[in-house]
Chain A
């Protein structure tokens, strides 16, 4: 019976998450897009800190960071740096996105793109194509959740049951409470991850060295396997150039999920405050990376590096600690997949179905939250159960594309001359270049494929914008009110002269 304690703790976590999420939206009308989609913009800075922080640390990073430390060494730290830099984007763009959304009733990135570029078609395309990356990410998280349940139950829960169990739990509270549920459950999941990471890291260190200092671990690494302490790492595949461009491509990726989370804040100040402190959340990854280094000596021949932390916990830690790690990793998986389901449902309904079927707000509101069921049942669940080998490729393309939306977002906030043709052709060129440099000629000159794509995108974005007509003055007045006089200075002068005559 004692061997099932970790499993019981892991399942108990699911129950707690469901209860917290279910009651998060109590007394609210969730058939309203504003309420379900962005929680009526009511989250304070602490909630926002945990919401964005926990959403950023996925099962991929929670299990993958020790896995990378185990197989490569310090290259694993690039995750810490890129997550830190992503906080800068939240800090800079978050308040602007929130203000614009509140003023013009945008809830998704694609709605803002449609509005700024005066093209519902461009918004719809952006919604569908970015959702590929977002859904692939949700699939990977769901597969991770099913894997944890399988390991913790000693194989009693097969993958397909684990998939339905984790998605089923998410669907209950997501349907009932929308973004509020994500906020509350992510707060719980984030706090759990912080606790578990430091607890497990220190516990493993004590087991391995007899004390709580990390120094003996790294002294031994330096002596036995020094290649783990520097770039390009033990596998020799991450030099300084690839490290830098991998960080930059993640930095330039503004996810649909992030955009919607920013919209849920109660004020611009709340986003800025939470984003300012957000990098500190990512210290959570450091103890897990140390666990990966310990694994190098304890499991020299493990088959799947990503399993090293879980393996170490199950083999060497008391049942309760192993259970907490299982719960923490499941929390990381669920906290990252639920915003993806939510954002996709919201964007499909607002940016694709509403303009396509000319739905009014009431009909859109009703359909929005019901869309989570077909998205989970017909897309995420079957692909998660099949566990296709090409999933990583899908994700790579997804990441590549998400970053390609960056110039279009610059056009929303910083460059009034940008046009819909510039945005469209730039995104298309960036996407094609990213695909070619991901799969045909991988990462030329050790520069990340997405950066090559982004460079091509930026050039075409600017050139095509200059070659095509800008949007109407009315739109410019709404998006760049403080620049209008300066932008139309030349056009104002002749009419003025005529009037004077």
Chain B
């Protein structure tokens, strides 16, 4: 029996995986260091604005992948 790992079979599938990987990277090191500053934006700390943005970016990414049929 081969030890093959189940991978996306289409370009859309790979695009979906890549997009999700990018979204996860946005919330952690090293990206989070860029937003880890004593700056107030829209009346909120920069890192709070970034966290809220991650909420909506995650939802939009999943919605977009649903739309293009990129979930394998």
- Chain A interface residues toward B at CB < 8 A: 74, 77, 80-81, 84-85, 87-88, 91-92, 95, 213-215, 218-219, 221-222, 226, 229-231, 240-241, 243-244, 247-248, 251, 272-273, 275-280, 282-283, 286, 289, 413-417, 466, 470, 476, 480, 483, 486-491
Contact = CB atoms under 8 A, between A and B. Distances in A.
A243 B45 contact: no
Contacts of B54: 80-81, 84
Contact of B4 (A77, A221, A486): A486
Given A230-B38, A231-B47, A240 B4 contact: no
Contacts of A278: 59
8 contacts: A222-B38, A243-B28, A244-B29, A276-B63, A415-B3, A416-B1, A417-B3, A487-B4
A470 B47 contact: no
Given A226-B38, A279-B58, A282-B55, A81 B48 contact: no
Interface string B23-58: 110011110110011101001110110011011101
Given A77-B48, A286-B48, A413-B6, A85 B29 contact: no
Interface of B: 1-6, 20, 23-24, 27-30, 32-33, 36-38, 40, 43-45, 47-48, 51-52, 54-56, 58-59, 62-63, 66, 71
A282 B4 CA distance: 37
A176 B27 CA distance: 42
Contact of A276 (B43, B44, B45, B66): B66
The 9 closest A-B pairs by CB, nearest first: A215-B43, A244-B28, A417-B3, A276-B62, A244-B29, A414-B6, A240-B29, A77-B51, A279-B55
Contacts of A247: 27-28
Given A283-B52, A286-B48, A480-B6, A87 B58 contact: yes
Given A272-B66, A415-B6, 10 more contacts: A81-B27, A85-B58, A240-B28, A240-B29, A278-B59, A286-B48, A286-B52, A476-B1, A483-B4, A489-B2
